[in-house]
Amino acid sequence: MPTPTKPVRTHRRPRTTTVPAPSGKRHIAPLDGLRGLAVLGVLFFHAGHFSGGFLGVDLFFVLSGFLITGLLLKETQARNGRIDLLAFWGRRARRLLPALTVTIAGTLLLAWALGPPPLLRYALDDAPWVTANLANWHFIADQVGYWNAADTRIFGHLWSIAVEEQFYLLWPLAIGLLARGRNGGRRIAVMAAAGAAVSLVLMIVFTAPVDTTRVYEGTDTRAFSLLLGSLTATPPVSRLLARAGERSAAWGSLALACGIGAYWALSDGQKDLSLFQGGLFLHALAAALLIACLAQAPRTPVGRVFAAPVLRWFGLISYSLYLWHWPVYLLLSEERLGMTGWSRMAVILAASIAAAWLSKVLIEDPIRFRARWAKNRTGAAALLAALAALAALWALIPEPQTGADTVDITQLVSDSAFPHTGAAKRPLTAP
């Protein structure tokens, strides 16, 4: 008889307190396409051809909250509830700051060489705040009206980058504290939901019918978009969606995509106060649920549409495209190009895409993926050197003299930035 063998005892891994979010498991192609749609919406909004395109900024916020929270939760699982904050902030710095620094420097030089005096004067005034990622609070303090300011703020669109950077600074601290111990994922979900609710209340309370700049650009009043994205990346929500099944996710993503598309087509942020009384919150909630459904079931028909190669390509250059498109819009005026309407739009799109592609190929990807010197102390030293060079450039560019012609030049820039008839009657600053 064969000798009986002892049963093999399997060793189970200790139960962890968090579960990796869907975004931490794999690359989700449809989310690249969503990012591409978001940036295209913003571009066409600025050209006066799509009144609801400004909502692309909210889609960016929700995507950022979802993806960053997923990555942080994955790290907490791997490190027993801990986060290496310095490493996280270093990765964010390598991803965002090189392209931003080059954009600021290039924009200052182009405004000096090509722009009218008001464009350069405001650029010099705004540049330090943009560099410090406090542009949104600078514009609020200066009472730069979001919807009706003259189109001379060449860095006006970077308020949203400031909001995201402030979120990247604070939210990892909260996750690092909440993820430790049992039920960390649940505590993070509760914090995200509670924070989103408080942010909504602040938006409703602070909304002023005459000027909505404070609530549109304030970090506290816009945090719900980022936090709703974060909420859908937490283990309780991802488990709930997983139990619903792929078929439910497929139908849900279809309904949500159609609803969001209809809302973009009908929105008019300049006139619709309902946006600031819950409309933006509901849009962000729908976007967060759509992203979560696509993460759970990326190969559904809706997922395949968003994963189309052209949309994914725009998604991959979306950050640099967002950085460059607004300076290009203001510098390539109707008078400079000698064309209007869709012809000018085509030139502006081509120039913006070219600048974005060069930024990604020559700056972003090499520093992010291949440059060993960009990490640790050498990376910090390189960043400080770049900021010092940027400060020197800012100090060396002479501030233009103001005179009697300033008002006329300002009006000229305002009129030429949006030659499209409808947009000229409805001046908009950057979302």
Q: For the CA atoms of 26, 32, 34, 36, what is the dihedral angle to 10 degrees? A: 170
pLDDT at 403: 55
Residue with token string 């950085």: 323
Res. 307 pLDDT band, cuts 50 70 90: very high
Q: Residue 148: inside a domain, yes or no?
A: yes
Is residue 430 domain-resident? Answer: no
Per-range mean pLDDT, top range of 203-217, 264-278, 381-395: 381-395
User: Distance between terminal CA atoms of the chain?
Assistant: 80
Residue 279 domain-assigned (yes or no)? yes
Cα(200)–Cα(56) distance, integer angstroms: 19
Contact yes or no for 326/103 (Cβ under 8 A):
no
Q: Which long-range contacts (CB under 8 A, 24 or more apart) does 174-177 make?
A: 175/69, 175/72, 175/73, 175/76, 175/83, 176/76, 176/82, 176/83, 176/85
User: Which of 54-58, 134-138, 404-408 bottoms out in mean pLDDT, i.e. has the lowest?
Assistant: 404-408
pLDDT > 50? residue 208: yes
User: Is residue 347 assigned to a domain?
Assistant: yes
Give the integer Cα–Cα distance in Å for 407 and 387.
Answer: 33
Q: Structural domain tally of the chain?
A: 1
pTM: 0.86
CA distances from 225 to 192, 211, 254, 288 (A): 10, 21, 21, 8
Burial class (CB in 10 A: 0-12, 13-18, 19+), 174: middle
Answer whether residue 152 shows pLDDT above 90.
no
Do the Cβ atoms of 230 and 65 come closer than 8 Å?
A: yes
Mean pLDDT for the chain overall: 85
Q: Does 428 map to a domain?
A: no
Say if residues 30 and 298 touch (Cβ distance below 8 Å): yes
Residue 364 lies inside a defined structural domain of this protein: yes
Domain that holds residue 327: 22-395
pLDDT for residue 149: 59
CA of residue 227 relative to chain centroid, distance? 13
E strand or H helix at 366, and its extent?
none
Within-domain flag for 400: no
Q: How far apart are CA 227 and CA 230, in angstroms?
A: 5
Is residue 406 a part of any domain in this protein? Answer: no
Ranking 139-143, 251-255, 332-336 by mean pLDDT, the lowest is 332-336
